[in-house]
Structure 1
């Protein structure tokens, strides 16, 4: 699996998300500033609510821009068994029910699922609970995380 291609797919998805967030911010801003939405009394809050929404969408767009900057600078390195799993690793985990999952460990802001060929790949940050638990692990090691009241365990099958 080509990690550079995965990185490009993440950037494409983030670009799509950015366009949507910017459009949503523009729409909310237009609604907030439209003359028909001027409050006539203290209970007329449509303009105020739209302004809050526009602010939230603008913050979301900025977070996506920052994530894109991180992903543009990101250069996944080949797996080094002496260091174990690090940022940029493509990891295959298997759970207790023999269900496999492919994970690509990348910078913050890229949490998403991608389809590469016929494989579903979960992109996650090394700051996520599972991402942190995998750091430094090698093929054959066990990884466990606590989710609510349940402990989930995985085995590292393959790392690239």
Structure 2
């Protein structure tokens, strides 16, 4: 796995989230000001609801802009010697299954796929991120996953 490819895919995924948020915000704004949204009675709350939706969608746009900005500060191509933000970490379990994680500042759970290999964004504030923080290649970690104890090995940190 090449880290630069993961970084570029993450940039595209974050830009896509921004585009989708902007489209939703624009649509919600148009709905809020459309003549059919005007209240017909004192109990008609469609225009108020449309306004709240437009405000919420605008907040999503701001969050997407913030995520892009914050990620730019952790996109580094040099390899790290321990797990930290900006690192690309390969874990394996006792059965030999491999898992790739990009350690990001935000957007935990964002998933991209590179040549049929899923890469999940993991924050250091997540339970698994807290266990991985500061660990090095060849370290063994134990993690409680859905009530069962799992053992992972850190195979690589890019």
TM range (shorter): 0.7 to 0.9
Task: Give the unaligned 5+ runs of structure 1.
Answer: none
- Shift of the 139–72 alpha-carbon distance from structure 1 to 2, 3 Å rule, reads closer
How far the C-alpha of 1:22 sits from its partner, in A, is 0.8
Determine which of 114, 117, 120 is the counterpart of 2:115.
117
How far the C-alpha of 1:91 sits from its partner, in A, is 1.4
- Shift of the 96–37 alpha-carbon distance from structure 1 to 2, 3 Å rule, reads same
- Shift of the 135–34 alpha-carbon distance from structure 1 to 2, 3 Å rule, reads same
Match of 2:74 in 1: 74
Determine which of 92, 100, 103 is the counterpart of 2:101.
103
C-alpha distance in structure 2 between counterparts of 1:10 and 1:19, whole Å: 14
Match of 2:128 in 1: 130
- 1:5-154 to structure 2, matched below 5 A, reads 5-76=5-76, 77-80=78-81, 84-109=82-107, 111-146=109-144, 149-154=147-152
How far the C-alpha of 1:88 sits from its partner, in A, is 2.2
State how many pairs are aligned. 157
Q: State the SS of the aligned residue for 1:85.
A: coil
CA contact (8 A) 1:95 1:153 kept: yes
- Say which is worse superposed, 94-103 or 22-31, in terms of deviation: 94-103
Q: TM-score, normalised by structure 1?
A: 0.83
- Shift of the 47–95 alpha-carbon distance from structure 1 to 2, 3 Å rule, reads farther
How far the C-alpha of 1:61 sits from its partner, in A, is 0.8
How far the C-alpha of 1:94 sits from its partner, in A, is 2.2
CA contact (8 A) 1:108 1:127 kept: no
Task: Give the unaligned 5+ runs of structure 2.
Answer: none
CA contact (8 A) 1:96 1:153 kept: yes
Q: TM-score, normalised by structure 2?
A: 0.84
C-alpha distance in structure 2 between counterparts of 1:146 and 1:108, whole Å: 22
- Say which is worse superposed, 4-13 or 60-69, in terms of deviation: 4-13
How far the C-alpha of 1:21 sits from its partner, in A, is 0.6
C-alpha distance in structure 2 between counterparts of 1:58 and 1:108, whole Å: 18
CA contact (8 A) 1:139 1:156 kept: yes
How far the C-alpha of 1:116 sits from its partner, in A, is 1.6
